[in-house]
Amino acid sequence: MAEGTHSFPSDFVWGTATASYQIEGAWDQDGKGLSIWDVFTHDASLMQDKGASGDVACDSYNKYPEDIALMKDLGVSSYRMSLAWPRIIPDPISGEVNEKGVAFYNRVIDALLDAGIEPSVTLYHWDLPLVLEEKVGGWASEDIIPYFLKYADVCFDRFGDRVKFWITFNEPDIFIDHGYVLDWHAPGRADFKDIGPYPVSFNVVRAHGKAYRLYDEKYRPTQKGRIGITLNCDWSQPKDPSNPADVEARLRYFQIKIGLFTNPIFVNGDYPEELKERISSRSEPGKSRLPTFTEEEKAYLKGSSDFFGLNYYTTRLVASKPMEDTPGYLGDKSYEGQTDPSWPRAVSNWLYSVPWGLRKLLGTIKNDFGDPDIYITENGFTTQPGVLHDPDRIQYLREHLTELSKAINEDKCRVRGYYLWSLIDNFEWHQGYKERFGIYSIDFSDPARPRTPKDSVAFYRQVVQSGKV
């Protein structure tokens, strides 16, 4: 390896990523049903970017051939996309499949394969059919699980002959915390602000486990694909490593942010013991706010992911914040995440560039979760709208990919692929269009939604095509 050059394996998967609601638009086209985001974005009291929605977004429903051409020019070997559940099954209670929605995704998948790009498909990237929120209770109700299984079954059946890489859920911690604990994201509820996210995460992780077993038993023998889950996690470390309280706070942070999913799926089918004990001790006697898995559930959850999908963006310094006397979720946490003023910040107020945090996190995943295959399914940086000269993004990507190469070559972490977020500027949830993750700029004031390359396109193309940073 030349000095100053960091390389990647010859079979490393290079990709880009997007999500259905963030790019497709066509909110009511060809039989699509309403999603919780279709309603949430039209409530001005909930959106930080007033008036922004995914009604049109990048118009990728109609312009997907242009997006695929951009990817082909980059030279990526894979594209991480998501399916819109309400486009495929508009009314899950009736269960009728929308054949026009299926036909759309068949066109996209076939066009990707024709371009030599493998589709990596996420089943759930947050756009829940509205009817399931209104009539079933959304992810707060375990009654949603059979509906998710029906949806997964339809997707495996209709697309699995060509799709060989499946992700059940994207960032469950975020859509649960922001949608059901806070009211920042759809469905805009805060029912679990005091109780904590535990009942909702309990439903989601069981839905994941059942979908994994469905694929494993019914489809894998003939389709021979892989299926897993994508989790978001900041690297976290004690603000003061010599302070035992900060060390313990950092452990709580990690367990609540990611342990609710990693432990059942990658360790033993159950929650971390420390977390069970803490929440039980802070609940009514005999009525822990943390649900309990049955032995059957533990059995189907353990080992229910063929890889570890990781979305990494930033790092936090975690300090103890004594709140044990506070009832509920805040007392469970008793920590606060902080940043270092020396860290470069993106336009997003939460996103700081801390490349060494990625390497540390990958090492922890290797050591704590059975040395799994890892795919970095999102990593990226925001700039202002309209900016084409983006040296900050290039620097962020260069430094993070350098640390990723070290994790692979020196630490022997089994990272198999990297998906840059995002291919194109898109709708960034409650922030709307104020923050831009894309390496291609989109003018959202132009009905034609033209795609224009930023400087980072040339950088990423060079990395992808050379396999080196």
Active site positions, annotated: 171, 378
Please return the burial class of 149, using the count of CB atoms within 10 Å of its CB with bins 0-12, 13-18 and 19+: middle
Q: How far apart are the first and last CA of the chain?
A: 11
CA–CA gap between residue 375 and residue 370 (Å, rounded): 15
DSSP 88-134: H-S-TTTT---HHHHHHHHHHHHHHHHTT-EEEEEEESS--BHHHHH
The backbone torsions φ and ψ at residue 389, rounded to the nearest 5 degrees and listed phi first, read -90, 105
CA–CA gap between residue 378 and residue 171 (Å, rounded): 10
Q: What is the dihedral of CA 215, 221, 224, 228, to 10 degrees?
A: 30
Helix axes of 145-159 and 198-214: crossing angle, nearest 10 degrees: 30
HSE (side-chain half, CA atoms, 13 Å) at 47: 21
DSSP 263-314: IIIIISSS--HHHHHHHHHTSBTTB-SS----HHHHHHHTT--SSEEEE---
Helix axes of 60-74 and 455-466: crossing angle, nearest 10 degrees: 50
Place of tokens 């269960």: 95
Q: What is the dihedral of CA 102, 107, 111, 112, to 10 degrees?
A: -20
Q: Of 322, 379, 389, 309, whose CA–CA distance to 351 is shortest?
A: 379
Q: How far is CA 395 from CA 38, 137, 352, 354, 410, in A?
A: 35, 44, 12, 11, 22
**H helices then E strands: how many in the chain?**
18, 13
CB 7 within 8 A of CB 404: no
Read off the tokens for 214.
Answer: 């469905």
Enter the DSSP assignment of 32.
P
